């Protein structure tokens, strides 16, 4: 189609029927395993029709890895589920985050949490947040570092929970799974053990942990 001039350069095609069918398969397996899912809309350009195809397949909320992702997804029927997964909401974007009514927002630092809490109070909402947890040996991509140390996760959760407008709902890290090119299979990283440990510790400390969020390779 490109060579025949029917598609312009830098154009890609999405088979939305197959996207819907694939989503149904993935959703059914997640349900069987007792897992919850967020779509990663950036993997298909945050395309509105692609988002709607995934929603039709039974997966209604996505990860908005940055504010631009949030804006693009909101043009579709998909909900914004998780904000701040890779990039923290930048200064001045807090109102936009609250306007999207995300299920959870990841926080890497107390200063970011303070700004989000103030915006939540102004919006009249209580925002659930996930604490990005780090421990020695965890793996991160360049520019994706930051988070609350595992050895004081209870103290960090108490400090964040003490911010008006916020509620600690879970923990998160990335990447928890990566493709092993040699063995051609997914393998866990140390990050997975870190977030599982953090979630268990916070539950024992009395926090209502709803998510142990452990994303990895998605395409």
Residue pLDDT, tens place only, 3-26 = 899 999 888 899 999 999 999 999
The reported pLDDT for the residue numbered 181 is 85
Residue pLDDT, tens place only, 57-74 = 999 999 988 888 888 888
Chain centroid offset of residue 83 CA: 6
Residue pLDDT, tens place only, 103-135 = 999 999 999 999 999 999 999 999 999 999 999
State pTM to two decimals. Answer: 0.91
To 10 degrees, the CA torsion angle through 81, 110, 195, 66?
40
What is d(CA 11, CA 26) in angstroms, rounded to the nearest whole number?
A: 27
Helices of type H across 61-103:
67-73, 94-99
Nearest by Cα to 218 from 65, 90, 102, 81: 65
What is d(CA 181, CA 179) in angstroms, rounded to the nearest whole number?
A: 6
**Which of 176-197 are b and which e, b meaning 16 or more Cβ less than 10 Å from the residue's Cβ?**
bbeeeeeeeeeeebebbbbbbb
Assess whether pLDDT exceeds 80 at residue 218: no
């Amino acid at each position: 189609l490109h060579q025949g001039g029917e598609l312009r350069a830098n154009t890609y095609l999405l088979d939305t029927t197959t996207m819907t069918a694939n989503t149904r398969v993935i959703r059914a397996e997640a349900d069987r395993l007792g897992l919850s899912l967020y779509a990663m809309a950036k993997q298909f350009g945050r395309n509105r029709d692609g988002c709607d195809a995934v929603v039709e397949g039974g997966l209604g909320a996505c990860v908005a890895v940055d504010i631009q992702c949030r804006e693009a997804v909101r043009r579709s029927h998909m909900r914004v589920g998780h904000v701040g997964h890779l990039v923290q909401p930048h200064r001045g974007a807090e109102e936009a985050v609250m306007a999207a009514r995300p299920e959870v927002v990841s926080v890497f630092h107390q200063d970011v949490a303070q700004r989000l809490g103030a915006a939540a109070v102004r919006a009249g909402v209580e925002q659930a947040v996930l604490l990005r947890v780090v421990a020695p040996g965890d793996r991160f991509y360049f520019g994706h570092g930051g988070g609350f140390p595992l050895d004081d996760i209870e103290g960090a959760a108490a400090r964040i929970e003490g911010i008006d407008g916020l509620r600690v709902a879970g923990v998160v890290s990335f990447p928890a799974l990566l493709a092993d090119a040699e063995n051609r299979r997914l393998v866990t990283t140390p990050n997975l053990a870190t977030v599982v440990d953090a979630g268990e510790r916070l539950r024992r400390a009395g926090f209502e942990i709803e998510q142990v969020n452990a994303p990895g390779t998605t395409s």
